[in-house]
Amino acid sequence: MKQFEQKLEKYAELAVKIGVNIQKDQTLVVNAPISSADFVRLVAKKAYDAGAKNVHVEWNDDELTRLKYDMAPFEAFKEAPVWKAKGYEEMAENGAAFMTIKSTDPELLKGVDPEKIAAANKAAGQAMDTFRSYIQSDKVSWLVISAPSKSWAAKVFPDAAEEEQEAKLWEAMFEATRVNTDDPVAAWEQHDQNLREKAAFLTEKQYKQLAFKAPGTDLKIDLPTGHIWLGGGGPNQDGVHFVANMPTEEVFTAPSKDGVNGTVRNTKPLNYGGNTIDGFTLTFENGKVVDYSAEVGGDTLKHLLDTDEGARRLGEVALVPHSSPISQSGILFYNTLYDENASNHIALGSAYSTCLKDGAKMSKEELSKNGLNTSITHVDFMIGSREMDIDGVLEDGTTEAIFRDGEWAI
């Protein structure tokens, strides 16, 4: 237990120092479930130790969320607290850093009316539109990190004894986030550099198209002129280096919103708003999903695709070798933050403006003109496997191998 406390403290330190990289006199905004209170207090302590001026925590509770879905009338889901969204904007404009701690049971919303979920996501997406644009353009430092909850741990380790499930999930997280190394901060600095080098190499190449081949998948994704590959951390608009996801194993960029053609099949279940979508296929023509099918959660997939115009187009393409630590652990986390770092993936919805040269300074209209998708949603799903090959097509039509059998070929 003593050892657990030490690991938890190191994890909090990574979140504060490598993740948001808190600066002296900065405010840290933490979004967290009340069940993660012990970890949140450690994060706050580390942040104040590092010179933070204030740690502002916005708490949430899965049980109340579920109670609301079960008992509140439909009208309640069409509203979101706009004043709170404005508060987030204001804190961002004043230079705060933002940390979100996620521990949601992947089955939290099982059986809930998908219309309610879609309405709630839409209302929240619209309210948080400006704040989301701040995050996606890296105006401020931000981090998404996870912490176990009882019910989530039970889903990941159904065969373990009940009192051991949470500890096992913590241990899997410590392993995946390099907390178990001798010097986690140094390990992250090295890892971060590797990812950034890979991204720089791909950006330099300026492939005009990526071609994905795997069982069930034959997909061609055009990349916009001036696209930028990102991986690991990057600077916020004040030049402070931060790492937005822990763990992170991906190198990613923005697809051309009108240049996606062919069919893709997912390789890991997608958890969307608490519901599972699996065994699904999407067919694209000129960027848009024109056909789809799903063995599980077809209705949820339909609602996702109908969120708005941009929800039927891609906003991200991300490369992760099949040998990544999370993939090697063999654990299915039922959590995008972890599972996306096990596998190549793409995302429906908005693109990150930082994936385009000078994109962070562009309006939505300009981004769209340059080929980047906009939407109130952004949902990653896994398409990688040991059987996936990816080719890059250069400006002159030459083809180069980027991935072979699920591994980097460059």
Identify which of residues 41 and 364 has a Cβ nearer to a copy of itself in the complex. Answer: 41
Asked if 284 contacts 257 with a C-beta cutoff of 8 angstroms, the reply is no
For a copy of itself, the closer CB: 92 or 320: 92
Sign of CA dihedral 7, 9, 12, 16: negative
What burial letters (b/e) apply to 227-258, b meaning 16+ CB within 10 Å?
bbbbbbbbebeeebebbbbbbbbbbbbbbbbb
- φ, ψ of residue 252 in degrees (nearest 5): -140, 160
**According to CB under 8 A, which one of 5, 81, 235, 363 is a site residue for a copy of itself?**
81
Phi and psi torsions of 40, nearest 5°? -60, -40
Shortest Å distance, C-beta 62 to a copy of itself: 11
Least distance in angstroms from the C-beta of 238 to a copy of itself? 19
By DSSP bridging, strand 27-33 and strand 97-102 are parallel
Residue closer to Zn ion (CB basis): 128 or 347: 347
Question: Long-range pairs for 328-331 at CB < 8 Å and ≥24 separation?
Answer: 329/172, 329/175, 329/176, 331/156, 331/172
If one asks whether residue 105 binds Zn ion (CB under 5 A), the answer comes out as no
- Considering the complex, state which of residue 44 and residue 277 has its C-beta at the smaller distance from a copy of itself: 44
Residue 69 near residue 41 (C-beta atoms within 8 A): no
Q: Which of residues 236-255 bind Zn ion (CB under 5 A)?
A: 250
d(CA 351, CA 375): 8
Q: Of the candidates 20, 145, 347, 367, which one interacts with Zn ion according to CB under 5 A?
A: 347
Q: Smallest distance from the beta carbon of 27 to a copy of itself, in angstroms?
A: 8
Tracing tokens 């300009």 back to the chain, one arrives at: 366
User: Which one of 9, 31, 45, 160 is in contact with a copy of itself (CB under 8 A)?
Assistant: 45
Residues 84-103 that bind a copy of itself (CB under 8 A): 84, 86-87, 90
Site for Zn ion in 271-290 (CB under 5 A): none
Query: Is the CB of 76 or the CB of 332 nearer to a copy of itself?
Result: 76
Here the tokens at position 299 are 């209705």
Q: Does 76 bind a copy of itself (CB under 8 A)?
A: yes
Which position among 34, 185, 290, 410 is part of the footprint of a copy of itself (CB under 8 A)? 34
Segment holding 188, helix H or strand E: helix 184-205
| 316 binds, options Zn ion, a copy of itself, none, Cβ within 5 to 8 A by partner type | Zn ion
Out of 72, 290, 394, 409, point to the residue binding a copy of itself (CB under 8 A): 72
How many residues line the site for a copy of itself (CB under 8 A)? 33
Return the structure tokens found at 15. 């979140």
Kindly write down the DSSP assignment for every residue of 375-409, as one continuous string. -S-EEEEE---TT-EEEEE-TTS-EEEEEETTEE-
User: Exactly one of 316, 370, 374, 377 binds Zn ion (CB under 5 A); which one?
Assistant: 316
Using rule CB under 8 A, residue 37 touches a copy of itself? yes
* Stretch of residues binding a copy of itself (CB under 8 A), selected from 35-43, 139-147, 202-210, 266-274: 35-43
Nearer CB in complex with Zn ion: 127/347: 347
Q: What residues contact 67, with CB distance under 8 A and at least 6 apart?
A: none
Give the C-alpha separation, 219 to 211, whole Å.
6
Q: Phi and psi (nearest 5°) for 167?
A: -65, -40
**Distance in Å, CB of 326 to Zn ion, minimum:** 13
* Residues binding Zn ion (CB under 5 A): 250, 316, 318, 340, 347, 380
* Residues binding a copy of itself (CB under 8 A): 25, 34, 37, 40-41, 44-45, 48-49, 52-57, 59, 61, 63-64, 67-68, 71-73, 75-76, 79, 81, 83-84, 86-87, 90
